[in-house]
Structure 1
């Protein structure tokens, strides 16, 4: 109880830093600008679901990389054999094996041809190393004598990785040209790029600007033959047919006369003579010289400007162009001309990108989410603070001071780390409010027990904090394990929830022990009370002796039946899976003229021929959720479906508030990662509890928790609640909460095993549960008080999450109190007397032969 000046200083410094880092998030911009320079100005970063914006997950098309690389290798092989060395050949491409086959017209030149094509060998690196790399090609020969060049899997992988890094820089340049603030662009895995642009609501334009390759090339048009004739008679060597912007097609030379990499500037402009928007471009010195040579040598011939394998225009060269500039004309609007100029200035993407996940939130929906989260947080805080005062009086006030500081420290840590706060993250903070008092309840209940055992107030306070600390560490670390697994195996909003939950757990350890102890110590030194009046209210009276083990067989039978029903429902009925797991598109629309007519919307959309469409209310009477199944044409077809829904509802005064599109590839990955997350969390917790307790405790804890997970999954199946990514977060958080209760009971059982060596195990477990049931009911009630406002005020986005968490509170309390004990016995846990007897029987008697 004697606090050193160092401990007091640590508490003061941590509290001050927490306030300084948290305050800027609640101040207007002009006040932050006037903030002294030596004070922190960084604020909590709001997620897209709170401030609106667009989220895109892009995937580099490996198929496109291979196709383009094979075309390039084919051109290089033809050039080095025929053009430079006069070796006749016929080259065919085999996409199935990622290779080309070269048939020589003169087989006697095979050895020379082998040497020449092997000189094409190239090493590629993923850009992480300055030197080294892997061979891109493998050379071989077919049984009929053809030479082959095959792209190696390692080369494809390295080239893909390198192109992702280049693509990130191009995307960043393009977004910077748009003038948006604080975009987040980062690599995910080996072939994906995550792009988040807050405040940019035009997702269609953003997708077009980001995902368009914008590869500009210049080709000579093949003279004397149309594309239709070439298709009928066969392509001349070294030519290709590309579609044109006007709906036709052009026969072009394959060789690139001039590439877009020579561009140094591109600007939108207006052609006064033709009264149309155009894009003016300018080459660097080398490009200008090449452009001048091409135009001088080909006057009267057609010259095609190709953008992403589409001929934009193919004018006749009237005269030599030596100034190094020109213009691109087409069916441009003012905005499309500006966007094309942006693309050309930023540079072409080195590979085509597919949009595999898209989430767009309107700013008004984000503001609603903030309001929902704040309302839930305020109501939960008031309920928990009031209950703690009612239950513990002055000691409840001490706990509330720690709780308030805990919330301040969470916001301060989020600001300092630059972490993103999402709506599930707000739910994590609200949940932390309920869990933060758990440690204080543990301490206070231990203090009551120590005083009841005859110790003085000072001894009771010291023992309460010291003996509860081990249990607090165990219970908090099991929750922290679940949060860590969520962060590394989750994505987006789930990671935001994991961050706030983990920070809340860590700050709770500091405030519930250090800060509460400090205020209790101040109070004791000033008052010197003869007795401690700690608790004023309790759900279960002292001296309760409920015979839990006598009804255990009925409880186990009930749990087995309920678990079988849950598994059966999950197997036969299935789940109402969200698009996170099945793919497709979810669109939230709002009616501007009053309550939405769900039946009318369903009737309007049924005629669009988009497959299965679900229409349901979404929180307020004005909001409606439209779910469209994944379209057969992939992501492009999904975008067309969104446009059709938008156009169909536009005339009915409906506005789109958010869209969420997930491809089948990503949905399968998310489902697999969710299952892995639950398994990894259970295994990690099993290892930790095994390390801290005996093996029976670990297996019993995991079995009990698995029972809770099965029951919660059964709730999703039986009630039809949407099962999505946040549901995985709910399940893993439930794992932490359930283990929290189980660890507290197990810790008391272990302690009583040392104290009461001769007590039969069923009686000892009954006593342990009755000793901890007061604490269990109080802490679960505080978590319940925090969750109910989330269910009522948290909004529709996280409703299935909060309902599952509330249900999980009761299931976790039930299993920790009643189910865990019988499982411990069935796993062979023995009292100390039984264990000693077993050891004596296993040892030979004195003088016995061994």
Structure 2
């Protein structure tokens, strides 16, 4: 081997760099362990541990943790450089947001009332439910169909309006308008991306990830370690539409509410007749006894769900016009929206709109001691156009500060135009009320004592927290979203489940590695020890690269690394087997080593096998998202590093030892005669193999058509929750209990432990908004109350709870049907793409299409059998066997492994065909298969040991993934011997017969 010195230098430098990168993770963990110890010592019964940890870490954030003399690193410095852990290892949230192109189009049209335009929007919205095309394309098609040439997009009532007049005039055709609108939509999506990125950068989560997904209007956001999930969702989906309005006082609305109550009561009498009682209607209800009155009122009028604020004197005049239970707000909204009720408003109030406070408060019912969540209502002085006198674009800066009372507030500074408008509004409303409204929620509605001409104001609230004030300031500084963005896919993993995944994956990883290291020494003796050293160096390189490039390590990523361990071992096995062959022929040690590491020896097969696996990794990376992409990345990195270490590091060690002139046998006394003199006639057994495979595939296809597959929410849409209980819980009982809550029984099954269930429902999955997510969690919490520990609150039940979690939601996944269809489509293309790419590569390398056909047919055979196994046994086996994105990653890994095996055998067939030109082709194939059998079994057993270790001792969420890999390795080994090579032989033989 030439350039040994250069390779040594490179390996040493690369190793040092990797150690340097990983040292930041080591020191970060040390600081965080100290923070945890501090928090546990100061916490009360394990509560608020996370908050106390943050307090400790904040206190050392900028203090030197590492002092090298010439450089110092604080905790914040090393935290940014540590190894990134994915959601499944750290907890947090992964979400895909869809920026509403529909809302962008409505905004560009100035909220057009044109019936053709709105009908086209409705058709496009409906079409998108079953299409993977862009909303914009669907809208253009729907508009063309609906208008039938009668109305143009450039019409002044659509896009030919004042705001777009510099770009669109009424003379433009639809074809000319299309690219202009497309550019406007693209610009709005780009703006949304920048706004969201700015918000996330200020959110305080370390190592966030945000990226656009093509030109679909979708944005991927990953926030590992985020624990306050509700806060995150609010931050991501808040449009940040800030408005300043004049407000009606409770004195001005009092008469309207009495009239509205009578009207509502008369309207409801048609449906039901019940006794009525009078309503307490003074301000004391609002501030103290309101929860009692709401708890005892009849249910046939407005006042049964709403308590108006009626002032008895001047001191009781307020901007709060009433109070309701949070659970009754939708009913109050529906009553106040009745046309008969709206008709009661005077001419001065006919454009009034009613908005709720931004934050509810809790009050105690004196008679029962029950805590009730209540919320204030405000009356906004709107106008025909519903345009606020002052909007958020006048804000120059916003920050979280502390008010005169010492409570958190948001301080805002306006530009010159805003200062003038704000001064005018406050001057005209001295002694009255003005409201600061953000995203249609009232944050404050104070009385104006004096005009404010400085352009400064604040948002405050009695119960506003520091975090809430920071978030509001954040979204105001980042700017408002040009259109609503809602979460169409999300995965939430609680920190407790993340820690459990780390513990189980690390233990299984250590066990798998130990077994491999011991096996290599047992089978190959000293050479196996050198291969072990190369393997450990390989792991150092992998983790060093992942850390240096900021890659995210996930559970599937760890599986990818474990798979590369098997591939690294495979490379050394191929090399050692070739060296042993040369030694058995009587060649000298140095000549045998030289041949084993040469292109004519093992190198050709190793490179071909690794390239085919690399190609499947690339396909996975292109089409995958989240954990699948992480798996593909670690797989590709592992292939590169394993090639380097197996070929160069092992060679350096072997050359060094061989140079000492000591005995070197590449086996042990126990294994030296294993797989020698094997001569199996594989081709004579091919018809039996065809029959066996055919029967299994036919049975599998029958099961696929009748029993189907257990599709996860990735592919069908829905919400899935992993819920932990204190004691073993019956899945059937829970399903029946939740049937009434969700209208139909959700799918419930045991997930790992007997006290842990996976609950999947499609309840309202097509409806958008945070309130739907909250409603589903509320129904789940209420339905499971009898199974949960007494006193477990809703906050503790949710997945982001900061404390030590003994029960509640450990993780949740939500996928809307539209993106589920897209995921299925991408998965299909990933499989087809990988098969096509591999077919072409093998054709390029072996120059015969029969080799490509044999390899791809064997892979197709393997995929069908894995699918058949999952179809036949998903109702029987005691672990999760869902078909989702991780399963597709497993299938493509099986594709890569099977190809790896097949290519090594094909390479030997090609070699024997070139050397033994007088042999029959059947003899060439049989001898090639026999000569590689030792390597095939050795590699397969090593890989199976690794996979079985992580299957048995890894986390529950990865068992189905690992089972697919185990089945794939077994089937892939079988197909390489009995399907790929025989099929290739049969097609070559038939072609030769035709030529004769």
Q: From the superposition, tell whether residues 612 and 136 of structure 1 become closer, same or farther in structure 2 (CA, over 3 Å).
A: farther
The whole-number CA distance in structure 2 between the counterparts of 1:288 and 1:638 is 39
Residue 680 of structure 1 is matched in structure 2 by 833
Residue 746 of structure 2 is matched in structure 1 by 613
The whole-number CA distance in structure 2 between the counterparts of 1:752 and 1:44 is 47
1:644 to 769, 774, 779: 779
Q: From the superposition, tell whether residues 235 and 261 of structure 1 become closer, same or farther in structure 2 (CA, over 3 Å).
A: farther
2:605 to 468, 471, 495: 471
Give how far 1:703 is off: 0.9
2:419 to 274, 280, 288: 288
Is the 8 Å Cα contact of residues 540 and 773 (structure 1) preserved in structure 2?
Answer: no
2:119 to 76, 87, 96: 96
Q: Which moved more, 1:507-516 or 1:344-353?
A: 344-353
1:833-844 alignment to 2 at 5 Å?
838=995
Give how far 1:772 is off: 0.8
1:322 to 444, 450, 453: 453
The whole-number CA distance in structure 2 between the counterparts of 1:201 and 1:714 is 39
1:60-93: CA deviations, max 9, x gaps? 011111222222678xxxxxxxxxxxxxxxx777
Q: Given the alignment of the two structures, is residue 66 of structure 1 paired with residue 105 of structure 2, yes or no?
A: yes
Give how far 1:317 is off: 7.5
Q: From the superposition, tell whether residues 317 and 411 of structure 1 become closer, same or farther in structure 2 (CA, over 3 Å).
A: closer
Q: Given the alignment of the two structures, is residue 159 of structure 1 paired with residue 184 of structure 2, yes or no?
A: yes
Give how far 1:440 is off: 0.8
The whole-number CA distance in structure 1 between the counterparts of 2:819 and 2:747 is 21
The whole-number CA distance in structure 1 between the counterparts of 2:238 and 2:629 is 29
Q: Which moved more, 1:565-574 or 1:582-591?
A: 565-574
> SS at the partner of 2:110?
helix
Residue 634 of structure 2 is matched in structure 1 by 500
Q: From the superposition, tell whether residues 268 and 348 of structure 1 become closer, same or farther in structure 2 (CA, over 3 Å).
A: farther
The whole-number CA distance in structure 1 between the counterparts of 2:167 and 2:342 is 33
Q: Given the alignment of the two structures, is residue 244 of structure 1 paired with residue 359 of structure 2, yes or no?
A: no
> SS at the partner of 2:597?
helix
The whole-number CA distance in structure 2 between the counterparts of 1:117 and 1:513 is 64
CA RMSD of aligned residues (A): 3.9
Q: From the superposition, tell whether residues 271 and 617 of structure 1 become closer, same or farther in structure 2 (CA, over 3 Å).
A: farther
Q: Given the alignment of the two structures, is residue 656 of structure 1 paired with residue 656 of structure 2, yes or no?
A: no
Is the 8 Å Cα contact of residues 112 and 158 (structure 2) preserved in structure 1?
Answer: no
Is the 8 Å Cα contact of residues 98 and 218 (structure 2) preserved in structure 1?
Answer: yes
1:169-248 alignment to 2 at 5 Å?
169-190=194-215, 191-218=217-244, 242-245=353-356, 246=377
Is the 8 Å Cα contact of residues 240 and 475 (structure 2) preserved in structure 1?
Answer: yes
TM-score (norm 2): 0.72
Q: From the superposition, tell whether residues 704 and 313 of structure 1 become closer, same or farther in structure 2 (CA, over 3 Å).
A: same
> SS at the partner of 1:727?
helix
Residue 847 of structure 1 is matched in structure 2 by none
Residue 719 of structure 1 is matched in structure 2 by 873
> SS at the partner of 1:723?
coil
Residue 270 of structure 2 is matched in structure 1 by none
Residue 18 of structure 2 is matched in structure 1 by 18
Q: Which moved more, 1:221-230 or 1:652-661?
A: 221-230
The whole-number CA distance in structure 1 between the counterparts of 2:403 and 2:234 is 22
Is the 8 Å Cα contact of residues 242 and 310 (structure 1) preserved in structure 2?
Answer: no
Residue 514 of structure 1 is matched in structure 2 by 648
Is the 8 Å Cα contact of residues 83 and 550 (structure 2) preserved in structure 1?
Answer: yes
Q: Which moved more, 1:316-325 or 1:218-227?
A: 218-227
1:587-598 alignment to 2 at 5 Å?
587-591=721-725, 593-598=726-731
Is the 8 Å Cα contact of residues 392 and 536 (structure 1) preserved in structure 2?
Answer: no
Residue 65 of structure 2 is matched in structure 1 by 33
Residue 148 of structure 2 is matched in structure 1 by none
Give how far 1:250 is off: 6.1
> SS at the partner of 2:829?
helix
The whole-number CA distance in structure 2 between the counterparts of 1:157 and 1:597 is 53
Give how far 1:119 is off: 8.3
Residue 135 of structure 2 is matched in structure 1 by none
> SS at the partner of 2:94?
strand
The whole-number CA distance in structure 2 between the counterparts of 1:802 and 1:677 is 20
Q: Which moved more, 1:55-64 or 1:343-352?
A: 343-352
The whole-number CA distance in structure 2 between the counterparts of 1:312 and 1:416 is 44
Q: Given the alignment of the two structures, is residue 307 of structure 1 paired with residue 438 of structure 2, yes or no?
A: yes
Give how far 1:209 is off: 2.2
Give how far 1:385 is off: 0.9
The whole-number CA distance in structure 1 between the counterparts of 2:903 and 2:175 is 59
Q: Which moved more, 1:209-218 or 1:729-738?
A: 209-218
The whole-number CA distance in structure 1 between the counterparts of 2:446 and 2:2 is 90
Residue 460 of structure 1 is matched in structure 2 by 592
Give how far 1:322 is off: 3.0
Residue 316 of structure 2 is matched in structure 1 by none
The whole-number CA distance in structure 2 between the counterparts of 1:170 and 1:437 is 48
Residue 170 of structure 2 is matched in structure 1 by 139
The whole-number CA distance in structure 2 between the counterparts of 1:317 and 1:10 is 72
Alignment length (residue pairs): 789
Is the 8 Å Cα contact of residues 718 and 765 (structure 2) preserved in structure 1?
Answer: no
Give how far 1:558 is off: 1.8
1:473-532: CA deviations, max 9, x gaps? 001111111111111111111111111111111111111111111111111110254976
1:681-708: CA deviations, max 9, x gaps? 1111111111000221111111111111
The whole-number CA distance in structure 1 between the counterparts of 2:740 and 2:758 is 18
The whole-number CA distance in structure 2 between the counterparts of 1:116 and 1:202 is 42
Residue 667 of structure 1 is matched in structure 2 by 820
The whole-number CA distance in structure 1 between the counterparts of 2:903 and 2:347 is 77
1:305-330: CA deviations, max 9, x gaps? 54335677888988754343456688
The whole-number CA distance in structure 1 between the counterparts of 2:22 and 2:449 is 67
Q: Which moved more, 1:340-349 or 1:761-770?
A: 340-349
> SS at the partner of 1:349?
coil
Is the 8 Å Cα contact of residues 620 and 892 (structure 2) preserved in structure 1?
Answer: yes
The whole-number CA distance in structure 2 between the counterparts of 1:115 and 1:620 is 61
The whole-number CA distance in structure 2 between the counterparts of 1:39 and 1:705 is 53
Give how far 1:589 is off: 1.9
Q: Given the alignment of the two structures, is residue 576 of structure 1 paired with residue 599 of structure 2, yes or no?
A: no
**Any unmatched runs of 5+ in structure 2?**
32-63, 122-138, 144-154, 257-336, 357-376, 790-806, 875-880
The whole-number CA distance in structure 1 between the counterparts of 2:14 and 2:410 is 57
Is the 8 Å Cα contact of residues 585 and 661 (structure 1) preserved in structure 2?
Answer: yes
Q: Given the alignment of the two structures, is residue 361 of structure 1 paired with residue 514 of structure 2, yes or no?
A: no
1:436-447 alignment to 2 at 5 Å?
436-447=568-579
Give how far 1:430 is off: 1.6
Q: Which moved more, 1:16-25 or 1:714-723?
A: 16-25
1:327-406 alignment to 2 at 5 Å?
334=465, 338=469, 339-406=471-538
Residue 128 of structure 2 is matched in structure 1 by none
**Any unmatched runs of 5+ in structure 1?**
75-90, 102-112, 124-134, 142-147, 842-850
Is the 8 Å Cα contact of residues 905 and 928 (structure 2) preserved in structure 1?
Answer: yes
Q: From the superposition, tell whether residues 296 and 20 of structure 1 become closer, same or farther in structure 2 (CA, over 3 Å).
A: closer
The whole-number CA distance in structure 1 between the counterparts of 2:826 and 2:783 is 36
Is the 8 Å Cα contact of residues 110 and 161 (structure 2) preserved in structure 1?
Answer: no
